[in-house]
Chain A
Amino acid sequence: MNLATRSLFELQETTLLAARAFRGIFRRPRYLAETIDQMDAIGVGSLAIIILTGFFTGGVLTVQTFPTLKSYGAQSQTGYLVAISLVRELGPVLCALMVTGRVGSAISAELGSMVVSQQIDAMRALGTDPIRKLVAPRLIALLVSLPLLTVLADVLGIFGGWVTAVALYSISSSVFVSAVRDGITTDDLIGGVVKPIVFSIIIGTIACRQGLSTEGGTVGVGRSTTRAVVLASIVVIIADYFLAKALQVILGTT
């Protein structure tokens, strides 16, 4: 297969996997305990990196934008810029990339190891559909966790920006908070939640597809894990571009 055929084949298989996983959500048996376990691993387990990433991203936004805004005499708008940047773009994208690195790789490696040790075959032989048992709970967990993690990253980013603005640049707290309020609109909040929902589907299906298509023993597990992280990261960034434009058109903010 050449590159174009292989890419199309991968797209087809990943889409089919997503469709079968979503169909599995509405059919019995439902794996509630497995889904809650995954929410714990994906959501609660990612809290630390999301807290750190969000806080310091907000801080560095203030550090980078304050001098530029000051040169225009607009330093009071620092909060505005930090809030818009975080809620519209950096929060969803950075959160998705961090979760891809931490969770996408883990999903791919776990499923890949199960493939090479014949555990997936054993599961099918014992009458269980691995897509319903393994893929659907991970997708649901990502769909619930990623938007929540993104909101958390946004809030902590704004907090990090506020701490930096007040502590390093002596901006009044009320000025910063007021600028944040002016900056964020309902449309930004909708976009800030829609994006992680789409990203979670991208990360989940790509990681599961790469894991389940592992070939070639333990070396293959490494290869599929790398491919899952690289592919999911690139697709998240490309999808972000199209989503940003689509949301502008849909919400009428062009």
Chain B
Amino acid sequence: MSAGIHTSAPTISHEAAESTFHEVDDRARAIPAIEFQDVVLAFDDKVILDHLSFKVMKGETKIILGGSGGGKSTIIKIVLGLLKPDAGRVLVDGEDVTDYSEDQMMRVRKKIGMVFQEGALFDSLSVYDNVAYRLHEQDVPEEEVEPEVRRMLRFVNLEDAIDKMPIELSGGMRRRVGIARALIGDPKIVLFDEPTAGLDPPTARTICELAMKLRDLEDVSSIFVTHEMNNLYYICSEYAVVDDEGKVNFEREGERLCLINSKVMMMKQGKVIFSGTDEALRRADDAYIQRFLRGH
């Protein structure tokens, strides 16, 4: 269970208490997984990010909401070094990557998994080769690659599709293969760029469950860019637990647990107009936020 899930049980076991104290004492956890300090980016005269500052702590999921063209996906590209900011600093796992060259960024990118909007699978490669891509590039022996690929495909419940080509997959399956590919090598930071856009509600729910499993069972820090309110509802109000038989279940926060490892940030025209919990977002009296929440 992630350290971000706060338990309100009256008594706790000795082991649990020890584990909690260890987590609290772990100073590395105090270093944000991702930090933006006063970041500015403009294309010609159009300002995309306007003095943006925020942090994503270890094990935390930051949901970034906002309309199209608000600069949400640009944030992800800056974290990966696919775009460079005009001003400000970007820190990944405490390391200032703002001025890193492409070669230096290659090393940083190994810590990060990225899930693209449409999956962005390589058309000419099978599902197996897509998921194994990062390991093949690192010349990992094939006998180590296959079990790892199968483990990741099992995580996204798609082991049967291992020999298929991307063209044979549905939109939801492509996203799930994209998630499996992003997770190979067990990155501690995962970036989701509108992973549920254009998907039917049950498939979108499956993608959100995968994000919750990563947060609660794998201690992954993530940025989840979306404009769909269902995503916010699922990720901020449910958590993943493993039962005695090893099966993953999703429970709603309430009397037993209160989720504190999911935060929301809302953007409008490159600026942060809200940052906090989902409950505070729903209470916000900003007209744009209320219209966004209501959908009209």
Residues of A within 8 A of B (CB): 29, 113, 117-119, 121-129
In the assembled complex, B51 has its CB within 8 A of some CB on chain A: no
Instruction: Give every chain A residue within 8 A of B121 (Cβ-Cβ).
Output: 119, 122
B104 to chain A, nearest CB (A): 12
B84 to chain A, nearest CB (A): 13
**Contact indicator A117/B120 (Cβ below 8 Å):** yes
Q: Known contacts A113-B123, A121-B82, A123-B122; can you find 9 more A-B pairs with CB under 8 A?
A: A118-B120, A121-B77, A122-B116, A122-B122, A126-B109, A126-B133, A126-B181, A127-B109, A129-B106
CA distance A216 to B120 in the complex (A): 17
Indicate with 1 or 0, residue by residue over B106-120, a CB within 8 angstroms of chain A CB atoms: 110110101011101
In the assembled complex, B80 has its CB within 8 A of some CB on chain A: yes
Instruction: Give every chain A residue within 8 A of B77 (Cβ-Cβ).
Output: 121
CA distance A119 to B123 in the complex (A): 9
CA distance A113 to B122 in the complex (A): 11
**Contact indicator A127/B106 (Cβ below 8 Å):** yes
**Contact indicator B82/A117 (Cβ below 8 Å):** no
**Contact indicator A125/B114 (Cβ below 8 Å):** yes
**Contact indicator B134/A126 (Cβ below 8 Å):** yes
* Closest A residue, CB atoms, query B44: A1
CA distance A125 to B118 in the complex (A): 15
In the assembled complex, B244 has its CB within 8 A of some CB on chain A: no
CA distance A139 to B117 in the complex (A): 31
Interface pairs A-B: 9 shortest CB-CB: A118-B120, A122-B120, A125-B114, A127-B109, A118-B116, A127-B106, A126-B134, A125-B80, A119-B120
* Closest A residue, CB atoms, query B112: A125
Q: Which chain B residues (31-49) contact chain A, with CB distance < 8 Å?
A: none
Residues of B within 8 A of A (CB): 77, 80, 82, 102-103, 106-107, 109-110, 112, 114, 116-118, 120-123, 133-134, 137, 139, 181
Instruction: Give every chain B residue within 8 A of A128 (Cβ-Cβ).
Output: 106, 133, 137
**Contact indicator A127/B137 (Cβ below 8 Å):** yes
**Contact indicator B109/A124 (Cβ below 8 Å):** yes
| Interface-central residue, A122, A124, A125, by most chain B CB under 10 Å | A125
A and B contact pairs by CB, cutoff 8 A, 14 listed: A29-B137, A113-B123, A117-B123, A118-B120, A119-B123, A122-B181, A123-B122, A124-B80, A125-B114, A126-B109, A126-B134, A127-B106, A127-B107, A129-B106
**Contact indicator A126/B102 (Cβ below 8 Å):** no
**Contact indicator A118/B117 (Cβ below 8 Å):** yes
- Given contacts A117-B118, A118-B116, whether A124 and B137 have CB atoms under 8 Å apart is no
Instruction: Give every chain B residue within 8 A of A124 (Cβ-Cβ).
Output: 80, 82, 109
CA distance A200 to B122 in the complex (A): 27
**Contact indicator B120/A29 (Cβ below 8 Å):** no
* Closest B residue, CB atoms, query A124: B82
* Closest A residue, CB atoms, query B106: A127
CA distance A124 to B122 in the complex (A): 12
- Given contacts A127-B110, A129-B102, whether A121 and B120 have CB atoms under 8 Å apart is yes
B161 to chain A, nearest CB (A): 18
CA distance A7 to B166 in the complex (A): 38
* Closest B residue, CB atoms, query A131: B102
Instruction: Give every chain A residue within 8 A of B134 (Cβ-Cβ).
Output: 126-127
**Contact indicator A119/B122 (Cβ below 8 Å):** yes
* Closest A residue, CB atoms, query B109: A127
**Contact indicator B116/A121 (Cβ below 8 Å):** yes
B80 to chain A, nearest CB (A): 5
CA distance A123 to B82 in the complex (A): 11
* Closest A residue, CB atoms, query B80: A125
A194 to chain B, nearest CB (A): 33
Instruction: Give every chain B residue within 8 A of A129 (Cβ-Cβ).
Output: 102-103, 106
* Closest B residue, CB atoms, query A125: B114
Instruction: Give every chain B residue within 8 A of A122 (Cβ-Cβ).
Output: 114, 116, 120-122, 181
CA distance A118 to B117 in the complex (A): 9
B90 to chain A, nearest CB (A): 15
| Interface-central residue, B80, B110, B120, B123, by most chain A CB under 10 Å | B120
Instruction: Give every chain A residue within 8 A of B112 (Cβ-Cβ).
Output: 125
* Closest B residue, CB atoms, query A123: B122
A24 to chain B, nearest CB (A): 11
Instruction: Give every chain A residue within 8 A of B107 (Cβ-Cβ).
Output: 127
**Contact indicator B139/A29 (Cβ below 8 Å):** yes
* Closest A residue, CB atoms, query B130: A122
A122 to chain B, nearest CB (A): 4
CA distance A105 to B63 in the complex (A): 41
A120 to chain B, nearest CB (A): 9
- Given contacts A29-B139, A118-B116, A118-B117, whether A125 and B123 have CB atoms under 8 Å apart is no
